[in-house]
Structure formats: C-alpha cells, structure tokens
Homo-oligomer: A and B are copies of this chain.
Amino acid sequence: MVTMKDVAVAAGVSASSVSNAYHRPNKLSADQRSRILNVAQTLGYSGPHPGASSLRSGSVGSLGLLITDSLSYAFEDPATVLLLRGIAQVSQMANVSLALLPSGSNASPPQTKNRRDLPVDEDVWPAVQRSVVDGFLIYSLPDGHPAVSSALNRGLPCVIIDSPKIEGVPFVGIDDRSAASRAAEHLLELGHHRIGILVDRLRPDGSRGFASQSRVRHAQDEVARERLAGYRAAFQQAGLDPSAVPIVEAGGFLFTEGQRAAEDLLRRHNLTAVLATTDVLALSALKVLRVMGKSVPEEVSVVGFDDLPESAAAGLTTVRQPLIDKGRRAAEAIIRSVAGETVGMTILPTKMEVRSSTGPAPINAALELAGPRHIAGLHES
C-alpha cells in the first residue's frame, strides 16, 4: 500500500506538508498543495489512512449503536426502524457513519477466539470493546447488560435511549409510566374491568407465556416494567385488583410472537379489553380477534403503545410517542456530547390517540358488575 511517506518522498516534501495538503489547505501555498495532490493521485494514494489519522487526531467520524438482541432486530421491529430512521437522518447531516454493533439476545457475550477466557467479572462486551467510534448510542438494553458497562468503561461519550436509566449518563426517552397509565385509564373510563395485558419481553431469557407476579416485579426490561407499573397504578386507582389482571409475555418483538401471545391470552380469558405494551402486540391482537370472529370494539377493545404508521390505518387506539424524533434527539445529543458539550436528559411528550379499536365495555359485561338496580336504571334512561 502506498503511504503518506511515499507521497512525501515522491513530491520532494515532508510528510507534514502532505498531511496539511489534505487537512489544512491554508497552511501551504496553493501551488504546493495541488502539486502534492497530483503526485498522490498518480501514485494511487487514496488519502490518509483513517485509522492512523484517528489514532493521532482522536476523532473517527463514527457513532456506535448498541441495540438489544441480534443485529437484524434493528431491521425487524417497526418501532426500532422508525427510531433508527431519525438517528440516521441526523447522522447523515452531521456526516458521521453509524456502526451497528452486534449484540446478543441474552446477557452473555458471544464466544470470541481472542477473549475466550477473560475473567467474567470484567464485564467486557467484545463488540463494544473493539469498535472504533467516537461515542455510543445505547438503545433499550435490559438492566445489567454488560454492553452498557463496557461502553461506559471505554470512557467515550454515551447517550442512552429509553433504558437503562443511569445516573449521570445523558438520556433521551419518554415517561413510559404515566403514558401507560393514561392508556389504562382510557379503558377503565369506558367501563372495562375484564382486561388482559400483552407484553413483549420482561427478561431476555427466551421465556414466554403467562407471567407470574414475581416475574413481572423482577422484569429486567425497564420500559416494559415502567409501562406495566403505569397500568397497575391506574388499576389500583380505579379499585381494580392488579394481581387479578392476566399478563402474557410474547418473548419477542415479532408479529408472529405477538399473535401467539394474543391467542394465549384471548383463548384462556373472557376479556373485554386488551392492553398491549407495544403496537406490534396490539396489531397482533387485532389479527387474532379477527380470526376468532370477535368484533372490535363491540366485543373487545384494544389499546397499543407507540403509534406506528400502520396503527392509524388499522384504527388502533394507542399512545403516540415520537419515535423518529426520539432518534433525532438522541443522535443530536451524542454528537454534541462528542463535541464536548454537556448534555442532560430529554423527556419527550406522548399523546393518547383514541381511534376505533376502543369503545364502551359491552353491556352484558357492564351488567355483571352493575347488578339489578342498575339494570333497571338502564331501561329508564
């Protein structure tokens, strides 16, 4: 390979001047510069080696992106795709590249030849350790995921999106708990009390099905935990026993997994409403209800969370969170942080979008609760 030194020799100048020709045009005469650049071109020199430059200059022009699960998850979950779109828009503007770092679905790092027998307690995440970047964007990782400590240890700027919340580390997210509360309150106000919950994942252990109270309490996924806590608070407020509300965990983020979970929930329980912690789950539930021949919202109401583009089309009542904007804000934050600015915490607003997937609890369900006197009342009005 031809190096800067080769160019310097061929052009009869010092390496400094070649470097300056590329990076500091005003540090040498226009003549000198174009001569050097010409020599470089004839030699087939493709410009300063970026690895070497960054070693000396300290900056790479690349941002590391840490996502839960497999890398391909980035292109599978619709909400994540939207978030990434926002991140990509800002990265593009700032002219930095985006390094998607391989992660794993569970909390143990992949086996690598080189690091096979490092002490486990080092909390080293190989992909993070090895990546040549200016900073890390950490998106929705479960509590205690080694990639987080690994990134923090690198001493590079980090911005966390959604979770985990860590004291002193810049954060971009929403108030999941109160947003979820509003979703639950919406159903409660409509008179629903036979409600079931669909959640994507409480822990990255591949487990699925009805979740025990203990599993819910010890959820490692902060977002899921917060949304469930929001539901719970609303139930308690309304005098409903939260422990009587069935929760089914899908075990993943795909529609297929969501549908299986929705089937489990809807086949085993006679519900008038479903609260889903994501729109993927809510849309899955709508699909299952259609197959079951249940009418929405007459027989069953469904509420989601996210507001994906397809949710509006499906008439899904849901909590809107600004996914693209969240991505943009996070990218701006990490870029500023890399530039040396101090960045704090950004909490974005959410909004309840009431559409056609929710309606009043069916009358016979209301009757169950109301008793004879109210039935009479109904007829009078």
* A interface, CB within 8 angstroms of B: 1, 22-23, 25, 34, 37, 41, 44, 46-47, 49-55, 60-62, 64, 70-72, 74-76, 81-82, 84-86, 88-89, 91-92, 95-102, 110, 112, 114-119, 122, 124, 126-127, 129-132, 150, 153-155
Closest Cβ neighbor of A24 among chain B residues: B114
B-side contacts of A131, CB under 8 Å: 50, 61-62, 97
Most B-side CB within 10 Å, residue of A46, A53, A116: A46
Number of copies: 2
Asked if B60 and A51 make an inter-chain contact with CB atoms under 8 angstroms apart, the answer reads yes
Q: Can you list 13 A-B contacts (CB < 8 A)? A: A37-B119, A46-B150, A47-B124, A52-B55, A60-B130, A61-B130, A61-B131, A70-B88, A71-B91, A97-B101, A97-B102, A98-B99, A132-B132
Asked if A129 and B47 make an inter-chain contact with CB atoms under 8 angstroms apart, the answer reads yes
Q: Name the distance in Å between A357's Cβ and chain B's nearest Cβ.
A: 20
Asked if B127 and A95 make an inter-chain contact with CB atoms under 8 angstroms apart, the answer reads yes
Partner pick for A72 among B53, B92, B124, B127, CB 8 A cutoff: B92
With contacts A122-B37, A132-B62, A155-B1 taken as known, whether A70 is within 8 angstroms of B92 at the C-beta atoms is: yes
Partner pick for A51 among B76, B89, B100, B132, CB 8 A cutoff: B132
B-side contacts of A49, CB under 8 Å: 55
Asked if B102 and A92 make an inter-chain contact with CB atoms under 8 angstroms apart, the answer reads yes
B-side contacts of A92, CB under 8 Å: 70-72, 102
With contacts A61-B130, A95-B110 taken as known, whether A75 is within 8 angstroms of B85 at the C-beta atoms is: yes
Closest Cβ neighbor of A72 among chain B residues: B88
Partner pick for A96 among B61, B76, B82, B102, CB 8 A cutoff: B102
Asked if B71 and A89 make an inter-chain contact with CB atoms under 8 angstroms apart, the answer reads yes
Asked if A75 and B75 make an inter-chain contact with CB atoms under 8 angstroms apart, the answer reads yes
B-side contacts of A97, CB under 8 Å: 64, 99-102, 127, 130-131
B-side contacts of A95, CB under 8 Å: 102, 110, 112, 126-127
B-side contacts of A22, CB under 8 Å: 114-115, 118
Asked if A46 and B1 make an inter-chain contact with CB atoms under 8 angstroms apart, the answer reads no
Asked if A51 and B62 make an inter-chain contact with CB atoms under 8 angstroms apart, the answer reads no
Partner pick for A25 among B25, B64, B117, CB 8 A cutoff: B117
A41 to B118, CA, bound (A): 12
B-side contacts of A119, CB under 8 Å: 34, 37, 41
A25 to B115, CA, bound (A): 9
Closest Cβ neighbor of A62 among chain B residues: B99
**Top 4 nearest A-B pairs by Cβ distance?**
A72-B88, A71-B88, A46-B153, A71-B92
Q: Name the distance in Å between A319's Cβ and chain B's nearest Cβ.
A: 22
Q: Beyond A50-B130, A61-B131: 13 further Cβ-contacts under 8 Å?
A: A22-B118, A46-B154, A50-B131, A71-B88, A71-B89, A71-B98, A75-B82, A75-B84, A75-B85, A76-B85, A95-B102, A97-B100, A97-B130
B-side contacts of A132, CB under 8 Å: 50-51, 54, 60, 62, 132
B-side contacts of A154, CB under 8 Å: 46
Q: Name the distance in Å between A130's Cβ and chain B's nearest Cβ.
A: 5
Asked if A100 and B102 make an inter-chain contact with CB atoms under 8 angstroms apart, the answer reads no
Most B-side CB within 10 Å, residue of A51, A60, A124: A51
Q: Name the distance in Å between A312's Cβ and chain B's nearest Cβ.
A: 14
A39 to B86, CA, bound (A): 42
Closest Cβ neighbor of A109 among chain B residues: B95
Q: Name the distance in Å between A118's Cβ and chain B's nearest Cβ.
A: 7
B-side contacts of A23, CB under 8 Å: 114
